[in-house]
């Protein structure tokens, strides 16, 4: 009891205070954060000249929202809730493994359904979709989106002017300009982009966690304890870690392959003198 009273302040700060602080920051600056994410989707906003209204938010709070789509910047709250529930279930229900795994599977399945319904992550391959949705909202007459569109146009013009000024100083500025436009305008397609999509990665890892919990529920059940008393627990210990490691190994290989392909394509586009 004494240890619990000593740790009550950190528990309140991390469990209630930090999520509440993140929620207040995102709610207070929601339109500015949305503008910053739309600029990010256009590959803009890295400097104060391109991001006059939201650059300070990017510098201070970008780690809270930079992975998410403009209309899903609050998703960090869902992730914090999921982590809190996993820790809480693991601590309070450790004396009843079957019930613990069942409740854990319920939490993970809820997160999986919410994730598949919202698909909150803004991967590089989904930026074009985010831009198209923004254009559709502008066509519908959304005032906030129209204001953001004006800021994006101003940032695009400023970046294009700066790029043209730099290209004019180079002897082969026009050819380099075409090369850079070709590289920045390429569209990634096919199954490779689907598997490297952050939303797909999150969905598969959540499914992997659900399968591990399901294996645990199966192998601690009375039926398997009665009939497979010798093979049940060892089989679970054999299957679940290898299932998890196989998914992590798969995504590590996909990441290395994708990164290598992007580097090779970029260097192949550059002229020999660069």
Q: What is the DSSP string of 94-108?
A: TT-HHHHHHHHHHHH
What pTM was computed for the model?
A: 0.72
What total of structural domains would you count in the chain? 1
pLDDT of 266 reads 38
Q: Which residues, 6 or more positions from 131, have their beta carbon under 8 angstroms from its beta carbon?
A: 38, 41, 42
Assess if residue 188 is contained within a domain. Answer: yes
- Whether residue 259 lies inside any domain: the answer is no
Q: What is the mean pLDDT of residues 106-126?
A: 91
Would residue 148 count as lying in a domain?
A: yes
Q: What is the pLDDT of residue 254?
A: 54
Residue-number span of the structural domain to which 15 is assigned: 2-73+124-196
Is the pLDDT at 264 greater than 50, yes or no? no
- Taking the C-alpha atoms of residue 204 and residue 239, their distance in angstroms, rounded to an integer, is 17
Q: Cα-atom radius of gyration of the chain, to the nearest Å?
A: 24
Interatomic CA distance for residues 196 and 191, integer angstroms? 9
Percent of the chain with pLDDT over 70: 68
* Runs of H (alpha helix) within the chain: 2-6, 8-12, 18-28, 30-41, 55-65, 75-92, 97-118, 127-139, 143-168, 173-184, 191-196, 198-219, 222-227, 232-269
Q: Is residue 100 part of a domain?
A: no
Task: Give the mean pLDDT of 153-171.
Answer: 76
Residue 261 lies in a domain: no
In a domain, 202, yes or no: no
Confidence of residue 145 (pLDDT cuts 50, 70, 90): confident
Please give the average per-residue pLDDT across 263-269, as a whole number. Answer: 39
pLDDT at 87 over 70: yes
Residues in the chain: 274
- Look at residue 115 and tell me if it is in a domain: no
Residue range 244-248: average pLDDT? 65
Q: Compare 156 and 195 and report the one with higher pLDDT.
A: 156
86 within domain boundaries: no
């Amino acid at each position: 009891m004494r240890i619990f009273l000593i740790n009550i302040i950190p528990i309140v700060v991390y469990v209630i205070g930090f999520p509440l602080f993140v929620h207040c920051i995102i709610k207070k600056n929601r339109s500015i954060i949305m503008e910053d994410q739309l600029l990010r989707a256009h590959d803009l906003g890295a400097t104060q000249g391109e991001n006059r209204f939201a650059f300070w938010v990017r510098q201070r709070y970008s780690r809270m929202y930079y992975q998410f789509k403009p209309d899903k910047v609050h998703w960090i709250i869902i992730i914090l809730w999921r982590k809190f529930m996993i820790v809480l279930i693991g601590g309070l229900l450790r004396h009843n493994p079957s019930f613990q795994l069942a409740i854990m599977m319920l939490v993970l399945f809820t997160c999986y359904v919410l994730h598949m319904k919202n698909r909150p992550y803004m991967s590089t391959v989904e930026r074009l979709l985010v831009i198209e949705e923004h254009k559709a909202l502008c066509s519908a007459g959304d005032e906030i989106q129209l204001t953001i569109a004006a800021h994006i146009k101003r940032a695009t013009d400023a970046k294009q002017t700066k790029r043209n000024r730099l290209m004019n100083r180079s002897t082969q500025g026009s050819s380099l300009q075409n090369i850079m436009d070709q590289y920045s305008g390429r569209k990634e397609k096919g199954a490779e982009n689907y598997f490297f999509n952050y939303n797909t990665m999150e969905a598969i890892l959540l499914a992997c966690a659900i399968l591990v919990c399901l294996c645990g529920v199966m192998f601690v059940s009375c039926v398997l304890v009665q009939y497979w008393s010798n093979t049940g627990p060892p089989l679970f210990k054999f299957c679940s870690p290898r299932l998890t490691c196989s998914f992590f190994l798969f995504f590590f290989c996909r990441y290395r392959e994708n990164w290598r392909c992007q580097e090779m394509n970029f260097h192949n586009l550059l002229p020999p003198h660069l």
